[in-house]
Structure 1
Amino acid sequence: MTGFPVPKLNNNDTTYVLVEWLAEDGQAVRDGDPVVLLETSKATEEVVAPRDGVLRRLLAEGAECEPGQVIAQLLGPGDEAAPEDPAGTVRSTGSAESAGGDPRGPGLPAAPGDSVPGGPGGAGTGDGSGVVVTMPARELIEAHGVAMERVYALGRKVIRRADVEELLGGPARPSPTGSTATSGGASGSDRPSTPGHVDGLSATAHPAPAGSTPNGAGRAEFTLAEAAPDGAGRDDDAEWITLSRAQQRTAEVVERSRREIPAAFTVMSVDVTEVLSLARDLTRRLRALVGLPEMVVKATGGLLDRFPVFFAQPGPGPRPRLRRATAANVGVTVDVGRGLFIPVVRDVADRPLAEIARDLVGFRKTALTGSFRESDLEGGNITLTLHTSDGIVHAVPIVFPGQTCALSLTAPRPEVVPDGSGFAVRKTAAIGLAYDHRFVNGRDAAEFLGELRSALESPARFLTENG
């Protein structure tokens, strides 16, 4: 008999949600077969069986689990399943039991009467039989009093937070009285609640605009707790903004970066008139959407050999040192209103531009459903943060732990520049570089940006030489 522990899927989360079992209890599975679907703060990941055996589940769908927790057993010939307690709950043989704590771990397996969505005896009954509701989604449902009939009517096997927000008409906000303002709730209205007033001031609850957070790309999803009339039954701090799970992970990464990395920043203006014209032509010829971000990603990859430190990984120990990168893997920020994701375009130096463009289009589509896999998000050795909202002049990205540099790119804007004896209107964009000053000096940063600018201002020559 072999325990089936939860693997470590990323470095930012301490707990995951068991969204769905992909194999039935008692089913024979083979080494490498997908067995369970786990949801992290950023992605949904299939976890495969580590060996052949008969699956014995120890945790219900919809429950939380943590890395290392045993959530199932794989029984071999002659093995017996773990004993059940009088209530019929399977006892886990995981680390929690050996440590003297609750043998079922932080996400309790569903015993009869447990209220675990989609689990035995849980809320997944009646019209919603078999529907799995993740814990973040369930919290939002309860906070807004959404009728479960409306949730089941979505016709989805797995209900996530984003699905509930869809029912609420966008990132969830409670009504001024704290009751739901959606159909099926207390007010009976089909529209999401309008911002209330706290102490006579308008209490708008909109996502923060791109560029307002330290990394310039995140967007907080939150609910606003309204104050009681005339301050009755409230403390001094009446307004509480509750960040989404994904934004909490973003906050932890930003805090760690600011605490550990002594970063500096340099920005350079780039004439992108020609590269934008070429990108439009390539879009037609390659039948792939090519824009300025795609061109920047490709140009960045071309600098790996000349600037290896910019793609290297800081090593552990008291003496500063770097691990050389074997390929340029560029993480690119994607935010379509469901949280910040940074999927990685791999080996951009040696791949054609058309493939890079198709990767980025695929990532944007995936972001709409929030169905990234951890493999999409890991392995980057430099990051490009996009700040393409009108009016942004420049943005300072954070340097992510494990990297030495991060680039930022603003939207092109018209600019009047000298042209011979007169003036001309050109399109320019600001490309910034935040860098770990322990490894990169200001002169190196300026040279890196200068090479990037040269590639973008002579794009036809650059692509001819670099594919």
Structure 2
Amino acid sequence: MATDVAVPALGESITEGTLAQWLKKPGEAVAADEPIATLETDKVSVDVPSPVAGVLSETLANEGDTVAVGALIARIDEKATAGATPAQAAAAATTNPAGAGENPQLRGSEHAPEPTANGDEDAITTLSPAVRRAVLEHHVDPSKIRGTGKDGRLTKDDVLAAAEAAKAGGPVHEPEARAPAPTAPPPQSAPQPAAKVQTGERREERVKMTRLRQTVAKRLKEAQNTAAMLTTFNDVDMSAVIEARAKYKDLFEKKHGIRLGFMGFFVKAVALAAKDVPAVNGSIEGDEIVYHDYLDVSVAVSAPKGLVVPVIRNADRMSFAEIEKTIADFGKRAKEGSLTVEDMTGGTFTISNGGVFGSLLSTPIINPPQSAVLGMHRIEERPVVKNGQIVAKPMMYLALSYDHRLIDGREAVTFLVRIKEAIEDPTRLLIDL
């Protein structure tokens, strides 16, 4: 009996995605709910699970194809046995009436790569989001690494071990001769064979933009074209927050099981300031202004394929511990590539922390339809005047970019000053002042 695999619902307003990678090949066994492919949408990567246990009998779309929600992309034969060739598995599926109803629009692209006799080397070409990130970060060639995971697949530890071996000057083990991996091209900085390198040679490489990067580019440019964007700056003395963290970090972690970070203070400060300046938490829809009585904070997070902004829902009602746990979970899942469309949807205000990368000052771009974004930066000791004395203090520049169509300069400055006051005197966060 053959079961069709269709593109699942990808989230509100998302009607299609790009088939980024096949995680299984025809003839391979799959378990129920086991991912067989990865789809890229405008916001996140989504795994497509197998609805049943069996053998992947055929694929109906190629990597790189754009597929609509509900389109058939594969078939699972519940009666076939693992190890069958793609042709045998496909033949077994098409002899069953359940194979009827194939998608004619995708049928023409059915050209799955033939597996080799060595199952371990087949599996090396299957990279999970976490492994892809490790490959890009450490600039290693996945085709030269022997996988130790299930069915010979590469694991993150395999990549890290290969990177360490390369640093130590260890030998490079070339794999047995096989066709180039179609799903995981080597990173841009992967070394080329020495014999091909010529002195003074100049090279270029063209890589198609991912769907996520295309969407980010489009939305950021749209924000500049639509909003009357302006940025105002201030600086904040981080001494009080640093002292509070140093004093309570051990007790906080012992009680809540999470570290007390800086972001929790800023989220709480934004919630406090938004009560005084509600326009900063609003948006423009047509000729109307929408004011929100809740605060959903989009937190900019770096992911393997670009910047993503998961949303902390009802941040104004959350405790420090709840905020820190949510942020830590987002960071972990962003690295793994497991954030969902629902995690990214919505948001009424954005906080971007360029300080983690060493940024001293920047002008962040708002995330439509939001009307403002707060930019945090690195903390460094600078000379400031306190009570007539020049002293060194840990200072941070803050930047608020905002849509001047909705937010006046006075409101923007007031909002930023309220944040400064709350960070420099965290007691204000407790007494709602």
Global fold match (TM > 0.5) = yes
Q: How far apart are 1:403 and its partner, in Å?
A: 1.6
| CA–CA distance in structure 1, aligned partners of residues 404 and 390 of structure 2 | 38
Match of 2:204 in 1: 239
AA at the equivalent of 2:432 = E
Q: Is contact 1:276-1:291 (8 Å) kept?
A: no
Cα deviation 1:243-281 (Å, max 9, x = unaligned): 763545433433333333331111111122112211333
**409-418 vs 241-250, which moves further:** 241-250
Q: How far apart are 1:37 and its partner, in Å?
A: 5.9
Cα deviation 1:143-163 (Å, max 9, x = unaligned): x99575735335478769x89
Q: Is contact 2:240-2:426 (8 Å) kept?
A: yes
Cα deviation 1:89-113 (Å, max 9, x = unaligned): 767644xx3xxxx4437xx445xxx
Match of 1:345 in 2: 312
Q: How far apart are 1:131 and its partner, in Å?
A: 6.9
Distance of aligned partners of 1:295 and 1:73 in 2 relative to their CA distance in 1, 3 Å threshold: same
| CA–CA distance in structure 1, aligned partners of residues 62 and 147 of structure 2 | 15
For 1:349, what is the secondary structure of its paired residue? helix
AA at the equivalent of 1:40 = E
Match of 1:175 in 2: none
Distance of aligned partners of 1:465 and 1:326 in 2 relative to their CA distance in 1, 3 Å threshold: closer
Within a 5 Å distance, the mapping from 1:261-410 to structure 2 comes to 261-287=227-253, 288-315=258-285, 319-335=286-302, 339-389=306-356, 392-410=359-377
| CA–CA distance in structure 2, aligned partners of residues 20 and 61 of structure 1 | 13
| CA–CA distance in structure 1, aligned partners of residues 92 and 198 of structure 2 | 47
Q: Is contact 2:23-2:126 (8 Å) kept?
A: no
Q: Is contact 1:63-1:134 (8 Å) kept?
A: no
Q: How far apart are 1:313 and its partner, in Å?
A: 3.9
| CA–CA distance in structure 1, aligned partners of residues 207 and 387 of structure 2 | 56
| CA–CA distance in structure 2, aligned partners of residues 145 and 293 of structure 1 | 33
Q: Is contact 1:274-1:458 (8 Å) kept?
A: yes
Q: How far apart are 1:354 and its partner, in Å?
A: 0.9
AA at the equivalent of 2:68 = P
For 1:340, what is the secondary structure of its paired residue? strand
For 1:251, what is the secondary structure of its paired residue? helix
Match of 1:17 in 2: 20
For 2:273, what is the secondary structure of its paired residue? coil
Q: 1:461 aligns with which of 419, 428, 431?
A: 428
Q: Is contact 1:280-1:291 (8 Å) kept?
A: no
| CA–CA distance in structure 2, aligned partners of residues 155 and 49 of structure 1 | 17
Q: Is contact 2:15-2:68 (8 Å) kept?
A: no
AA at the equivalent of 1:45 = V
Q: 1:411 aligns with which of 378, 381, 384?
A: 378
| CA–CA distance in structure 2, aligned partners of residues 157 and 262 of structure 1 | 54
Q: How far apart are 1:302 and its partner, in Å?
A: 2.7
- Number of corresponding residues: 381
Q: How far apart are 1:27 and its partner, in Å?
A: 11
| CA–CA distance in structure 2, aligned partners of residues 5 and 390 of structure 1 | 37
| CA–CA distance in structure 1, aligned partners of residues 48 and 127 of structure 2 | 17
Instruction: Please state if 1:45 is matched with 2:15.
Output: no
Gaps of 5+ in 2: 77-88, 165-169, 176-186
Match of 2:79 in 1: none
Q: Is contact 1:416-1:424 (8 Å) kept?
A: yes
| CA–CA distance in structure 2, aligned partners of residues 127 and 333 of structure 1 | 38
AA at the equivalent of 1:183 = V
Match of 1:80 in 2: none
| CA–CA distance in structure 2, aligned partners of residues 62 and 388 of structure 1 | 40
Match of 2:393 in 1: 426
Cα deviation 1:408-456 (Å, max 9, x = unaligned): 0012221222222422222221111111222222222111111111211
| CA–CA distance in structure 2, aligned partners of residues 296 and 28 of structure 1 | 44
For 2:331, what is the secondary structure of its paired residue? helix
Within a 5 Å distance, the mapping from 1:150-161 to structure 2 comes to 150-155=145-150
Gaps of 5+ in 1: 76-83, 116-120, 171-180, 187-220
| CA–CA distance in structure 1, aligned partners of residues 146 and 215 of structure 2 | 27
Distance of aligned partners of 1:243 and 1:5 in 2 relative to their CA distance in 1, 3 Å threshold: closer
Q: Is contact 2:124-2:143 (8 Å) kept?
A: no
User: What is the aligned-residue RMSD (CA, Å)?
Assistant: 4.9
Distance of aligned partners of 1:86 and 1:244 in 2 relative to their CA distance in 1, 3 Å threshold: same
Q: 2:408 aligns with which of 441, 444, 463?
A: 441
| CA–CA distance in structure 2, aligned partners of residues 164 and 27 of structure 1 | 23
Q: 2:172 aligns with which of 161, 183, 207?
A: 183
Within a 5 Å distance, the mapping from 1:126-275 to structure 2 comes to 126-128=119-121, 133=126, 148=143, 150-155=145-150, 169=163, 183-185=172-174, 222-223=188-189, 229=198, 238-240=203-205, 242=207, 245=210, 247-275=213-241
Q: How far apart are 1:332 and its partner, in Å?
A: 1.6
Q: Is contact 2:235-2:397 (8 Å) kept?
A: yes
Q: How far apart are 1:461 and its partner, in Å?
A: 2.6
Match of 1:68 in 2: 69
Q: How far apart are 1:224 and its partner, in Å?
A: 8.3
| Larger relative contact order (CA 8 Å, sep ≥ 6) | 2
Q: How far apart are 1:404 and its partner, in Å?
A: 1.3
AA at the equivalent of 2:248 = L
| CA–CA distance in structure 2, aligned partners of residues 164 and 17 of structure 1 | 22
Q: Which structure's residues are more often helix, by fraction?
A: 2
| CA–CA distance in structure 2, aligned partners of residues 2 and 19 of structure 1 | 16
Q: How far apart are 1:459 and its partner, in Å?
A: 0.4
